[in-house]
Chains A and B, each alone.
Chain A
């Protein structure tokens, strides 16, 4: 009887098998990388209705974070400024600028800042960058009032001309800090100082250096850890890692 199948088909099942395994492994690997918050979120940098420059306002002009995000130490939400917060300065600064069109719409004024009769004040629609899932309840005030800086989660936001998502803010990210808070704690005065450098802070504070066991030549990380340990102890910081801390 003639062979129905040519000789080259002998290895076909094996080849198909190898292919399938390769595809499965490939998909799994791809998903477990590209599906993570790190790949999905970090670097997200959408266009905003007003190209607000954090570098200009916070870094160069030295505006405090809390001038605009005024509820960060009072509420769970840090708050995005209402249009009249911007208007406090921009009623006089950069008058008539093309970039500030949406702000003038929100205030109901024309280019010369003359009130338009009967105008509907259209609020500015900012594009959300940092978003925790609906089942996560994060409390800003509980963190900034305990020595965790904005920088720990948002990165060097004061130097971003256009804000992007800097840290992955995954559950592991949260847990890392909750399990070792000393890596991030800093004196309360320095929470909103995004240029904070632990070595510079310790400069000249010999008593404190002795207290935390600072040794000459310690790296910033080591110094941070040592200072963090002291703050953790002094302030009774025991972050929780059980589910209800964030999920409820």
Chain B
């Protein structure tokens, strides 16, 4: 048996992480093991790499592979003689278009403006197409409200190429032709038919217009909107307060204080554009051009039960069960002078009362400059309190603007009611949701009517429907929509529908005209939806060709917004606070998932593999409970220990086998399961300890558990196997099954029972750990306590000296000491080693980073990063170039009262990179631009570089993930017999300017070198331009390095483009103060990761600043996670 401990006795003492004694645990941690200083975790730290992440499985396996390598080599050299006969050059073809399409230049991307319709307001986008294939989605920078995009938008391009996308028209599961569909629906839908039409919560002016025509044709038609997680209470409360169809648009740029009552408004519960919020978060101004002014920062309060990304950003966070949020809200409302009364059997602790009172005082001091938001899915009472507070604070008309939207129609409740009363003959489902799976009561009620479903996936609803029609993706259809503030935006197609899908507007047109547009057959004509959108736009703006062209170029029509309504005060509110949960009487919270949203992205492999921002679990959902609740359930110690369970010689499984020192990590990591009973239903789920989580509350993310096959670990399959693809099969647990129409968000009175079973989880939180050093640094705007209280300026000045850097001497190179003669002259002489035109650098401002994964997914889309599947992730072999670290840090000594600090870490592009010196084949070397580059074709896969990288930023292709589908059970281990990637479609998404890596090579962040090179290529045309302008001979034209310098903003990396907060800067250092990145680097908050080891990274970080209110409880302890770390 091997002993894989590799720590040497001669290890540098100062490199030893702190807090390594078990008694202490840590004050800043990423996982339970780290927090408790658990033995297994320390062992993992000593070994640096996870079992399997850096080596082949076992000694035998390694031995085996060496032997088989020799065998194979022998065989192949023998065969080489035979093979040589076929050594002629393979013939490759160049096939140009028969007719040149407009704008299409081979090798040059074309960009189109479009929008993605969404419930909370459309995202305005620019889509990159290569040779007419959409490959990458970027935010539309022309649209002012846009900061960036979220991970869902970034990943939506993969949905279009999903090989499991629905391709066939189905009638009760049987494939039918278009003609049959047209005939059958023509017979089914007569003028008198009582038809119900269900669409999503997004808004479409053309759809609304066509519905009016539909109402004329089908007199008895009814219209509904439905998405499972958009909530009804807020709509109702708004309608009561401001009139039917009312919504509120928010302007965070004017808000000094924001209070969120259980709303993740920065990420999963968007309530208007948030770019204004982030702009007020920059201490030195959004362009880093002002003097640091801590007073300019906004302040965020949040009251919530389970950690959200918004909670992580908050300056003050109150942890309380979601059902009790209303009690705190009532207290704040009363203190603000709103007429709110609360009754019921509840009691706020002294701390909670103080929190509410001081928060209210801060809000009052900022009346008219504050925003109070309630979670969309919270109760109507809370929504009304929220309106009452905002009214009392005089926020309406200033930071909040009530508007009238065009949203009309019934909801799921009224639809189910109508169905049960047999008031509908046919229901047409065009919503992106999957109501048979996610709407309580719908599946049964739907039996009373014919069901027609237009959708992207062959999901539960598609199978239950009488007719299923494959729909077109938004990148394939014409349409229109509105952003959160009501700006009219166009949805433009980039490509003809891949599987001949039908767009929503085309389908409505079919209902109106009886003619179904066939994009494959009638491709030469414009689709009816184009004409319909154009007609709507003509009514909205004017009918000039110029305006239409402007709309298509910009993607939106600036002059169009929602009509404002006069703010009017809400009446008095009285609420009954429900009983607080207690041990054995738990509260179950159904949360929106950061990866699959409400389940609609379950087939999206990028999102499934992106670690959940909070739990860091990939590919599954779990039940999250607080440490205290876990102890109550009796699973805390089990989670911590995760009993040794290992395969003995690969034959039989034994508890505590004692032969493998590595037991509770990698592919053996399994969490205990509990059976949660609520609403008379039961669900068995694995439990994870979540910090900062309210006690006696179990939160479970929705959207998983669509179907299982025979390979399911818990033996749940085969079940609904045809509802799922390779991506979504056997994934997680269906929490919709225990949710009812009455308890869409909260269900009280739950019990949880330990079942003794375990479930394997792929978690990235302990992967690539850099434990115990001041990595994610933070400071506070409040002066530190004590005699030597440091004010904000002093704390900023100390950022560079936090942690290890406080007593490490300055780094000086032994070979070329800085300031010595050799240093400068050599640099001058070797000009080819230092390019005067460009030197690239990046900064990441932790103050704005929420940890939302948008950059991670954008990087995956841009750089052809493969998906590796759950098992490989569990073994630490995830390929994401950006690792989103998430640290918890205790406020004071309370393990429950925690802050969360995210930190994205990718290759740091060290100026003196440790990886370069150890590569035996010079495959990773430095470029003249200051990039640490990888030549894949040189790499022989020794993995020395990854072992020598202090940031653990390098990823190795253990298998040919791009070629062999890693999502098929055990496929990777079948070698050449394994199935190749399913279908051609996903390869169409690949960026042609980035190499698709093969097995056995190392890869890592390249600073998007393809984008840099493309700009450098463009810059070179400046010579031609200058020569043409000058006339005469080009010989006399002089062009300098300075003129050939890429300008600020010309190179933007994929992560920077996607970042919704503006936290990532990238640019040319040679531009000096003209470059935002250089201004950010000059900020005092700027520091490099592990500065004391002397790698001189080009990526640097800006410390997070917390802006606490001095009067709040624990104010002194906030923002102190690393300040005293030595």
Q: What is A's interface to B at a CB cutoff of 8 Å?
A: 40-41, 44, 46, 71, 73-77, 79-85, 106-108, 121-128, 131, 133-135, 137, 139, 141-142, 145-147, 187-189, 208, 227, 230-231, 234-236, 238, 240-245, 247-248
CB-based nearest B residue for A41: B89
Segment among B782-790, B920-928, B943-951, B1073-1081 that sits at the interface with chain A: B920-928
Determine the chain B residues whose CB is within 8 A of the CB of A40 once the complex forms: 89
Q: Top 3 closest A-B pairs, CB basis?
A: A77-B107, A188-B1034, A244-B933
Q: Of B100, B993, B1021, B1035, which is within 8 A of A208 by CB?
A: B1035
Pair A107/B108 contact, Cβ less than 8 Å: no
Q: How far is the CB of B587 from chain A (nearest CB, A)?
A: 52
**Among A44, A127, A247: residue with most chain B CB under 10 A:** A247
Determine the chain A residues whose CB is within 8 A of the CB of B1014 once the complex forms: 76
List 6 interface pairs A-B (beta carbons < 8 Å), by A numbering. A82-B96, A133-B937, A139-B1013, A238-B835, A240-B835, A240-B927
Given contacts A40-B89, A83-B98, A141 and B928 within 8 Å (CB-CB): no
Determine the chain B residues whose CB is within 8 A of the CB of A135 once the complex forms: 935-937, 995
Docked complex Cα distance between A147 and B1024 (Å): 9
Pair A234/B993 contact, Cβ less than 8 Å: no
| 0/1 interface trace, chain B 1020-1053, chain A, CB 8 Å (1 if under) | 1101100100000111111111001000000000
Pair B95/A124 contact, Cβ less than 8 Å: yes
Q: Of B91, B835, B938, B1017, which is within 8 A of A127 by CB?
A: B91
Q: How far is the CB of A74 from chain B (nearest CB, A)?
A: 6
Pair A235/B1023 contact, Cβ less than 8 Å: yes
Q: Of A131, A134, A187, A230, which is within 8 A of B995 by CB?
A: A134
Docked complex Cα distance between A126 and B1009 (Å): 31
Pair B96/A188 contact, Cβ less than 8 Å: no
CB-based nearest A residue for B832: A238
Determine the chain B residues whose CB is within 8 A of the CB of A41 once the complex forms: 89
Pair B96/A83 contact, Cβ less than 8 Å: yes
B93 within 8 Å of A (CB atoms): yes
Pair B1035/A84 contact, Cβ less than 8 Å: no
Determine the chain B residues whose CB is within 8 A of the CB of A236 once the complex forms: 1039-1041, 1044
Docked complex Cα distance between A134 and B998 (Å): 12
Pair B95/A242 contact, Cβ less than 8 Å: no
Docked complex Cα distance between A79 and B131 (Å): 12
Pair A146/B1020 contact, Cβ less than 8 Å: yes
Q: How far is the CB of A182 from chain B (nearest CB, A)?
A: 13
Q: How far is the CB of A164 from chain B (nearest CB, A)?
A: 13
Given contacts A71-B107, A126-B95, A230-B1035, A142 and B1040 within 8 Å (CB-CB): no
Determine the chain A residues whose CB is within 8 A of the CB of B96 once the complex forms: 79-83, 123-124, 126
Pair A142/B1017 contact, Cβ less than 8 Å: yes
Q: How far is the CB of A195 from chain B (nearest CB, A)?
A: 18
Determine the chain A residues whose CB is within 8 A of the CB of B1035 once the complex forms: 187, 208, 227, 230-231, 234
Pair B108/A75 contact, Cβ less than 8 Å: yes
- Beyond contacts A71-B108, A135-B995, A187-B1033: 12 other A-B pairs, Cβ-Cβ < 8 A, are A46-B91, A75-B107, A83-B97, A123-B96, A126-B95, A133-B937, A135-B936, A147-B1034, A231-B1035, A234-B1037, A235-B1038, A242-B928
Pair A82/B97 contact, Cβ less than 8 Å: yes
Pair A247/B1034 contact, Cβ less than 8 Å: no
B291 within 8 Å of A (CB atoms): no
| 0/1 interface trace, chain B 96-121, chain A, CB 8 Å (1 if under) | 11111000011110000000000000
Pair B98/A243 contact, Cβ less than 8 Å: no
Where chain B touches its partner, the secondary structure class is loop
Docked complex Cα distance between A240 and B1036 (Å): 24
Pair B1027/A188 contact, Cβ less than 8 Å: yes
Docked complex Cα distance between A79 and B95 (Å): 10
Docked complex Cα distance between A100 and B456 (Å): 45
CB-based nearest B residue for A126: B94
Determine the chain B residues whose CB is within 8 A of the CB of A126 once the complex forms: 93-96
Docked complex Cα distance between A40 and B925 (Å): 30
Pair A242/B926 contact, Cβ less than 8 Å: yes
B1093 within 8 Å of A (CB atoms): no
Pair A243/B938 contact, Cβ less than 8 Å: yes
Docked complex Cα distance between A74 and B1039 (Å): 19
Determine the chain B residues whose CB is within 8 A of the CB of A46 once the complex forms: 91
Pair B926/A248 contact, Cβ less than 8 Å: no
Pair A141/B1020 contact, Cβ less than 8 Å: yes
B: number of interface residues (CB 8 Å): 55
B647 within 8 Å of A (CB atoms): no
Determine the chain B residues whose CB is within 8 A of the CB of A187 once the complex forms: 1033-1035
B740 within 8 Å of A (CB atoms): no
Q: How far is the CB of B562 from chain A (nearest CB, A)?
A: 43
B366 within 8 Å of A (CB atoms): no
Determine the chain A residues whose CB is within 8 A of the CB of B831 once the complex forms: 238
Pair A146/B1013 contact, Cβ less than 8 Å: no
Determine the chain A residues whose CB is within 8 A of the CB of B1009 once the complex forms: 244, 248
Given contacts A135-B936, A236-B1044, A123 and B1033 within 8 Å (CB-CB): no
Pair A137/B993 contact, Cβ less than 8 Å: yes
B931 within 8 Å of A (CB atoms): yes
CB-based nearest A residue for B106: A77
B754 within 8 Å of A (CB atoms): no
Docked complex Cα distance between A122 and B1040 (Å): 48
Docked complex Cα distance between A86 and B345 (Å): 85
Q: How far is the CB of A123 from chain B (nearest CB, A)?
A: 5
Determine the chain B residues whose CB is within 8 A of the CB of A146 once the complex forms: 1020, 1023
Given contacts A46-B91, A127-B92, A244 and B1021 within 8 Å (CB-CB): no
Pair A240/B928 contact, Cβ less than 8 Å: yes
CB-based nearest B residue for A188: B1034
CB-based nearest B residue for A140: B107
Determine the chain A residues whose CB is within 8 A of the CB of B925 once the complex forms: 242-243
Docked complex Cα distance between A134 and B94 (Å): 15
CB-based nearest A residue for B922: A243
Pair A74/B105 contact, Cβ less than 8 Å: yes
Determine the chain B residues whose CB is within 8 A of the CB of A44 once the complex forms: 89
Pair B1039/A235 contact, Cβ less than 8 Å: yes
CB-based nearest A residue for B1027: A188
**Among B97, B835, B1037, B1044: residue with most chain A CB under 10 A:** B97
CB-based nearest A residue for B937: A135
Docked complex Cα distance between A238 and B834 (Å): 11
B534 within 8 Å of A (CB atoms): no
Pair B95/A85 contact, Cβ less than 8 Å: no
Pair A71/B1016 contact, Cβ less than 8 Å: no
Determine the chain A residues whose CB is within 8 A of the CB of B1006 once the complex forms: 244, 248
CB-based nearest A residue for B925: A243
Docked complex Cα distance between A235 and B1020 (Å): 10
B940 within 8 Å of A (CB atoms): no
Pair A127/B105 contact, Cβ less than 8 Å: no
B994 within 8 Å of A (CB atoms): yes
CB-based nearest A residue for B995: A135
**Among A107, A122, A188: residue with most chain B CB under 10 A:** A188
B1010 within 8 Å of A (CB atoms): yes
Given contacts A134-B995, A189-B1033, A85 and B100 within 8 Å (CB-CB): yes
| 0/1 interface trace, chain B 995-1010, chain A, CB 8 Å (1 if under) | 1000000000010011
CB-based nearest A residue for B97: A82
Docked complex Cα distance between A231 and B1040 (Å): 12
Docked complex Cα distance between A147 and B20 (Å): 62
CB-based nearest B residue for A208: B1035
Pair B832/A127 contact, Cβ less than 8 Å: no
Determine the chain B residues whose CB is within 8 A of the CB of A123 once the complex forms: 95-98
Q: Of A108, A131, A145, A242, which is within 8 A of B927 by CB?
A: A242
Determine the chain A residues whose CB is within 8 A of the CB of B93 once the complex forms: 125-128
Q: How far is the CB of B40 from chain A (nearest CB, A)?
A: 40
Pair B97/A188 contact, Cβ less than 8 Å: no
Q: How far is the CB of B101 from chain A (nearest CB, A)?
A: 9
